[in-house]
Structure 1
Amino acid sequence: MQRIPVPNITLRQATESDWDFLAAVHETCMRDYAVQTWGTWLPEPRDACRLEIHQIIQSDDGEIGCIAVAEEPDALMLEKLYILPTHQGRGIGTLLLKRLIDSAHASGKPIRLRVLRVNPARQIYERNGFKVDRSTEERHFMSYWPLER
């Protein structure tokens, strides 16, 4: 199998004008998993979207997703890492996780995230050193520790 090369990936801060794009990416990437988990899809309310932690993922093909990371006093919280399905499987998620892991090492803070149990994204996190800390019926709570625990 021939591997598609990782495109040139850049990030830019999300702005109010990105709301429709962010909502569309969120629905495209998460709707099926939400329906599998809860039986329905509820879009994220506009006032719940913290634009200050969102960045738009850009490639040579244009805008292809978003990443949202909140820097808390004791951890980096990976709230979202959504890549449009047409751009998945190209190493973009891994590239962005490696950048975040570098930030974790620089800050000495762990990275924490949650992923729906039905979402196969758990595999990319595990391949990059994340461990499941605990699970509920709906989610896995995972972390990456840059330092020995």
Structure 2
Amino acid sequence: MSTSTLRGWRLRPATFEDVEPIAGIRASAMRPDLERLGRYDEHRVRQRLRDAYVPEHTSVVEAGGAVAGCVALRPSEDCCWLEHFYLAPEVQGRGIGTAVLAGLLARTDAEGVTVRLNVLQGSAARGLYERHGFTPEREDPVDVFMVRPPGAGS
């Protein structure tokens, strides 16, 4: 993923050294939804990120010179999976998530690639994804699995 600078923050390629700051951001960003679902575990929320972390597919969001979030776009057989999209609570609501998502989707649209993701039931992030053309594919008690064909929501 290329490095770009937009409105006081930037997106850069992830490194192995980013895993712990990102695990902490994941824990704080997901805590309210996981607590609401009765599934928050301080160790597990961090370990799940560590176990699935692949720097080659991940970009880090920096704001004010510090790690403020991340996003991964993992290629799969028939699509790309949008994963590990977290922003620290103190930088949420500034349009960063919208800009990051729009940039990734512009790239997948240009490549003609379908994008899939899952979001926790009741998460405010679902509205962001729906505004960008994602629709529910299936649900379970914890997750909503969503899909976006190339060009949807444009």
- TM-score bucket of the superposed structures, by smaller chain: 0.7 to 0.9
Select the residue among 101, 111, 114 that pairs with 1:110. 114
Cα deviation, 1:30-77, whole Å, max 9, x if unaligned, reads 122223224331233234322222211023453211111102231111
Select the residue among 85, 93, 96 that pairs with 1:81. 85
Q: Does 1:44 align with 2:46?
A: yes
**Once superposed, what is the RMSD of the aligned Cα atoms?**
1.9
Cα separation, partners in 2 of 1:89 and 1:147, compared to 1, 3 Å:
closer
Q: Greater shift after overlay, 16-25 or 48-57?
A: 48-57
Match for 1:15: what amino acid? Answer: T
Q: Does 1:26 align with 2:33?
A: no
Q: Does 1:100 align with 2:100?
A: no
Cα deviation, 1:66-96, whole Å, max 9, x if unaligned, reads 1111022311110121111111111111111
* Distance in 2, Cα, partners of 1:85 & 1:26: 10
- Tell me the residue number matched to 1:11: 11
Q: Is the 8 A contact 2:79 2:113 kept in 1?
A: yes
- Tell me the residue number matched to 2:61: 57
Q: 1:107-146 residue pairs with structure 2 within 5 A? A: 107-146=111-150
Note the residue ranges of structure 1 that are not aligned, 5 or more in a row: 1-5
1:7 deviates by 2.4
Note the residue ranges of structure 2 that are not aligned, 5 or more in a row: 1-5
Question: Residue 52 of structure 1: SS of its match in structure 2?
Answer: helix
1:19 deviates by 1.9
* Distance in 1, Cα, partners of 2:38 & 2:55: 26
Cα separation, partners in 2 of 1:73 and 1:60, compared to 1, 3 Å:
same
Match for 1:125: what amino acid? Answer: Y
* Distance in 2, Cα, partners of 1:17 & 1:119: 29
| Deviation beyond 4 Å, 4+ runs, structure 1 | none
How many pairs align?
Answer: 143
Percent identity between matched residues is 32
Q: TM-score, normalised by structure 1?
A: 0.85
Match for 1:74: what amino acid? Answer: D
Higher relative contact order (Cα pairs below 8 Å, separated by 6+ residues):
1
Q: TM-score, normalised by structure 2?
A: 0.83
Q: Is the 8 A contact 2:98 2:128 kept in 1?
A: yes
